Amino acid sequence: MHDLSESAVDRSSPGYPTIVRVPGASAPERFAWIAANKAQLDRTLLRSGAIRLEGLGADTPELFETASGVFFDEAAGYVGGDSPRTRVSSRVYTSTEYPPTQAISLHNEMSFAATWPAQLLFGCIVPAEHGGATPVADSRAILQALDRSIVEEFTARGVCYIRNLPGGNGFGRSWQQTFETDDGAAVERYCRQTGSEFTWKADGGLRLIQRRPAVAVHPLTGETVWFNQADQYHPSTHPPTVYEALVGVYGDDPADLPSNATFGDGGPFPPEMLTTIRQTIAQLTVAFPWERGDALWLDNMLACHGRQPFSGPRRILVSMA
C-alpha cells in the first residue's frame, strides 16, 4: 500500500487545491488505492476543501461510475438543480451543458436550495481543445477576504433567489427538467417541504422563490463559509449584450427574468457590492487544465467551482453525494 502522506501528495505544487497523484498501473488498482486510503483522503478533503486527483484513470462513463462508488456510498440526485445537465446513469450526470462560449461563475452547488450535495466528484472523459478548466476557490478564504460590511449585510438580510422555469420550450431548464417529473403536484409537495414559494404562471411556467442564508456553518468542521450564489443569479453576471437580449424577450421587470436575486427581504443588491464580491472570488480562484482521466473532488461547502469557456469537444462528468 502506498502511504498518502509520503508518496502521493504533490508537495511541489501550490497549496490549494491539494494535488494527489494516484498510483497504480490500471484503473482497478487506482480505485483500490483510493479505497485503501479513503479515511486519510477524507481528512485531507476537510482540511483542503478540494483535491485534484491526477491519473485516477476514470476516463469512460462506466469507469467514472465505478469510481463514484468508491468515493460515495450513495450518490445524490439533482432534483431542483439549475444547471442544464443530463443524467448519464443512476449516479452520474454531465457536469453542465451551458454554452461553451460562456463562463460559469464560481458557486457552491445548489446553495440556493434547502438541501445540497455535501461533496462533488468531477471526472474528465474528454478534455477541451482550449480552455474548459473547472476553477475552484476556498469558501472560507472568500468569507475572510470580503469586506466586513458586505458580510454583515448579507448575513443579516440573506438572499432571495428567483427562477422562472418554462413549462416546455423557453430559456433555460423547464420545471419538468428541473424536478425530473411531469407531475405538478409532486413539484408543489417539494416546494412546501423545502419552504420554497411557488406560483404557476398562465403560460404553464413556474415561478420559484427560495430565501436562503448567505453564509453557512460546515457540519463537520464548524467553520463558517461564504455559501450563496447571489452574484451568479443577479442578471449583471451576464455580458451587457446578453442581459439586453433577455430584457428584450422577458421585459424589464426583474421578477420576470429567467433568474434573478435580491436580498432576502426583497431589497436590491448595490452594484458595487456585487463587483467587490466577484473581484474577491476572482483573486482567490485557482484553475488547472483538465487531462483525460483526472478527477476533482470537492467538499461543496468548503470549495466553490465554475467553468471556463472552451472550444472543441469536452466531456466532464459529475457525481454528487
Which tens digit of pLDDT belongs to each residue from 172-195? 799 999 999 999 999 999 999 999
Determine the pLDDT at residue 7: 57
Determine the pLDDT at residue 249: 86
Using one digit for the tens of pLDDT, what is the confidence trace for 155-175? 999 999 999 999 987 777 999
Task: Based on the fold, state whether residues 233 and 102 are members of the same structural domain.
Answer: no
Task: Based on the fold, state whether residues 8 and 125 are members of the same structural domain.
Answer: yes
Determine the pLDDT at residue 2: 42
Percent of all residues in the chain with a pLDDT value above 70, rounded to a whole number: 96
Determine the pLDDT at residue 13: 54
Task: Based on the fold, state whether residues 206 and 98 are members of the same structural domain.
Answer: no
The CATH number of residue 29's host domain is 3.60.130.10
Task: Based on the fold, state whether residues 197 and 245 are members of the same structural domain.
Answer: yes
Query: What are 54's strand-pairing partners?
Result: 21
- Write out the residue range of the structural domain in which residue 105 sits: 4-135+287-320
Half-sphere exposure (Cβ direction) of 124: Cα atoms closer than 13 Å? 25
Return d(Cα 315, Cα 321) in angstroms, integer.
20
Determine the pLDDT at residue 4: 61
Task: Based on the fold, state whether residues 78 and 192 are members of the same structural domain.
Answer: no
Task: Based on the fold, state whether residues 12 and 123 are members of the same structural domain.
Answer: yes
Return d(Cα 89, Cα 101) in angstroms, integer.
27
> Considering its fold, how many domains does the chain have in total?
2
- Measured CA to CA in angstroms, residue 300 lies from 19, 50, 79, 172, 252 at distances of 17, 9, 17, 23, 34
Residues of the chain with pLDDT under 50: 1-3, 6, 12
Task: Based on the fold, state whether residues 122 and 175 are members of the same structural domain.
Answer: no
Return d(Cα 286, Cα 14) in angstroms, integer.
10
Task: Based on the fold, state whether residues 103 and 223 are members of the same structural domain.
Answer: no
Task: Based on the fold, state whether residues 160 and 230 are members of the same structural domain.
Answer: yes
Task: Based on the fold, state whether residues 91 and 189 are members of the same structural domain.
Answer: no
Total residues belonging to the chain? 321
Task: Based on the fold, state whether residues 106 and 185 are members of the same structural domain.
Answer: no
Task: Based on the fold, state whether residues 261 and 170 are members of the same structural domain.
Answer: yes
